[in-house]
Amino acid sequence: MELGTDEAYYWFYSQYIKFNYFDHPPIVAFLIRLFTGNLLLQSHEGFIRLGSVVGCGLSSWFIYKTCTLLYSPRAGLFGVCLYNTSFFAAVTAGIFIMPDSPLMIFYTFCLLTIAKISKDDNNWSSWILFGITSGLSIMSKIYGGLPWIGLGIFILLQQQSWLAKPQLYVALLISAFISIPILLWNLQYHFVTYEFHSQRLSLSKSPVNIISFLREISNQFFFNNPFTVIIIATALIWYIKNKAVRLPALAIYNYIALPFALLLLVVSLKRHTTLPHWSGPAYVALIPIAAIYMASRSDTFPKMLRAGVAGFIIFLLIWQGLIQFYTGTLGEQKPSIKYEVVNKLQKLSGVFDGFTEMQLIAEPLNSWSKAEEQFAIIYKNDISKGIMKPNSPVICYKWWGAQVEYYFCLKEHNQMIGLGNLDELHEYMWANTKRKEKVNMETAYCIVPSDIRYDVRDRYSHYYSFTDSITTIKVARKFRPPLYFYIYRLSGWKKYLPLVK
């Protein structure tokens, strides 16, 4: 599959290595750099995503070691099955390149170090490893700090004696030192990252929205695999009733997971901004409890776990079948009947939110690449004929322009420039500063895919006086309607380039 909008945006991160980015910390960019050979292989989607796949393997190993240490190798096996049948862990973080991809590597390592600490709370190496992995977890994504929150709650409520341990404070200092680049970057830009994320989680004054609440419940239920959620819920009841299994590590995992999952439910009552994958780390932290529960109850492969594995495999087959053979289109101009049905269901249930986020209706390889070949011919002809200025950029008004940049600008070394406000452009505001000397803004191109059409003349009227629609690139696709790319030329530059202040 070709890169989706989010993936292309994180590829865009990798073009400029920084201490922090507008939306997220930097490790996802490092991961892309590492597995593309410092961008030498960035034109291949497989290498851009390779870090996610390798990371999923590492995370699976850490889950196995955690469950084995706490109970038995059998529990470890069950833990790996639960992890790799989670749509969040195995698809969002395990296939697509997202900040969750490196997050899960360090987050699951944190779970392992917590298990080691619970076995021997005087072991310096376990505490130091926790400090390192929790710091790197924070450097992967903002809520990578969940392990510290869970540990802190556990200490305050159940294990105050740990407050006297110097290991705790050394681990905290290591974690703070590793994650301090985020703080320094935000100090420079007036904590713009935290302002952005706080707006997404803050409770509005609007009335309680039951539909949004029900959507978040269904997101948590389906996105983390319904069978897994049922196993986890059953295991939590068993854990509460069975005092013999109340290991310190399992208590910490509960304090990591349950407050965060509940917080998302509370936020969903007042906001529409909760996303399906946000609850993923909470349910990953509960996997050891579920694995130990199953290992203690049966010598066979539990039926519910079999159902979860089978359901996940069936989902993958249906998902790929839809990608290859689905006859609908996500185009806004003339959506198919099938898409209208899906869209209506999506408004009623969060199930389809998760499917859409995982790019259920994704593009098979080469749809965008074929369009790029045709645009390259147009670009070269316009420059040679003097219709457009040399080094004319391609422009976008929103961060998802990174997908256009990846497929239309990368091969020809064209520059993408963002024209809009910070709330929409995000990291492109910083890129403008680095790219402004490489482009001639007197003329520019705008490329609009058919599934995100908008009024180009109105959108860029503050920046250009004239907008001409020059052609439409049509890409034929098997079993599906064609994909269209609308190409515009803009001229009459008004000399206003949005830059970070």
The pLDDT tens digits of the residues spanning 86-95 come to 999 999 999 9
Q: Strand 464-477 and strand 480-493: pairing?
A: antiparallel
Between 50 and 205, whose confidence is greater?
A: 50
SS3 of 93-142? CCCCCCCHHHHHHHHHHHHHHHHHHHHCCCCHHHHHHHHHHHHHHHCCCH
Side-chain-facing half-sphere of 490: CA atoms under 13 Å: 27
Cβ atoms 214, 171 nearer than 8 A: no
pLDDT in the model for residue 299: 76
Burial class (CB in 10 A: 0-12, 13-18, 19+), 141: buried
Q: CA-to-CA distance for 251 and 396, rounded, in angstroms?
A: 48
Q: What is the pLDDT of residues 365-387, one digit of tens each?
A: 667 888 888 999 999 999 999 99
pLDDT band at 276 (very low <50, low <70, confident <90, very high): confident
For residue 233, give the 3-state DSSP assignment.
helix
Region 174-200 average pLDDT: 87
- Tally Cβ neighbours within 10 Å of residue 17: 11
Nearest to 493 by CA among 448, 462, 463: 463
- Alpha-carbon dihedral sign for residues 82, 86, 89, 91: positive
Q: Which two tokens stand for residue 147?
A: 């392990």
Q: Out of 137-151, 190-204, 275-289, which region has the weakest mean confidence (pLDDT)?
A: 190-204
* pLDDT of 204: 61
- Asked if the model's pLDDT at residue 364 lies above 70, the reply is no
Hey, what amino acid is at 186? N
pLDDT (0 to 100) of residue 446: 97
Mean local confidence (pLDDT), 241-248: 84
CA atoms within 13 A on the CB side of 481: 16
Q: What pLDDT is recorded for position 329? A: 47
Tokens of 138: 């924070």
Question: What's the Cα-to-Cα distance from 409 to each of 297, 417, 447, rounded to whole Å?
Answer: 56, 11, 11
Instruction: Measure the CA–CA gap between 134 and 175, rounded to whole angstroms.
Output: 6
Which has the minimum average pLDDT: 1-10, 37-46, 204-213?
A: 204-213
Which one-letter DSSP state was computed for residue 341? H
pLDDT at 271: 75
> For the residues 465-484, what does the mean pLDDT come to?
85
CA distance 401 to 45: 17
User: Looking at residue 357, what is its pLDDT?
Assistant: 43
CA–CA separation, 492 and 487 (whole Å): 17
Percent of the chain with pLDDT over 70: 88
Are 165 and 120 spatial neighbours (Cβ–Cβ below 8 Å)?
Answer: no
Q: How confident is the model at residue 360 (pLDDT cuts 50, 70, 90)?
A: very low
**Backbone dihedral angles phi then psi of residue 490, each to the nearest 5 degrees:** -120, 140
Task: Match 């850490």 to its residue by tokens.
Answer: 62
At residue 197, the pLDDT reads: 66
Q: Is the predicted pLDDT of residue 3 greater than 70, yes or no?
A: yes
Which one-letter amino acid corresponds to residue 402?
A
The predicted pLDDT at position 348 comes to 45
User: Mean pLDDT of all residues in the chain?
Assistant: 89
Tens digits of per-residue pLDDT, 52-80? Answer: 999 999 999 999 999 999 999 999 999 99
Quickly state the pLDDT bin for 494 (edges 50, 70, 90): very high
- What does the pLDDT average to over 308-323? 87
Which DSSP helix (H) or strand (E) runs through 45? Answer: helix 45-70
| pLDDT of residue 121 exceeding 60 | yes
Return the number of other C-beta atoms located less than 10 Å from residue 206's C-beta.
Answer: 11
Domain boundaries, the chain: 5-315, 367-493
Q: What is the pLDDT of residue 200?
A: 62
Residue 194: per-residue pLDDT: 76
> What pLDDT, in 10s, does the model give residues 18-43?
999 999 999 999 999 999 999 999 99
Rounded CA-CA distance 5/182 in Å is 24
Strands 394-396 vs 443-449: parallel, antiparallel or unpaired: parallel
Q: Which residues of 444-461 are buried (b: 16+ CB within 10 A; e: fewer)?
A: bbbbbbbbeeeebeebbe
Q: In this structure, are residues 425 and 192 in contact, taking their beta carbons and an 8 Å threshold?
A: no
Q: How confident is the model at residue 340 (pLDDT cuts 50, 70, 90)?
A: very low
Span 290-300, pLDDT tens digits: 999 999 987 78
Distance, CA of 258 to CA of 265 (rounded, Å)? 11
**Residues making up the chain, counted from first to last:** 501
Residue 350 has pLDDT above 90, yes or no: no
Distance CA 68, CA 260 (A): 26
The rounded percent of the chain whose pLDDT value lies above 90 is: 73
pTM above 0.85, yes or no: yes
pLDDT of residue 405: 96
Q: Are 23 and 4 in contact (CB under 8 A)?
A: no
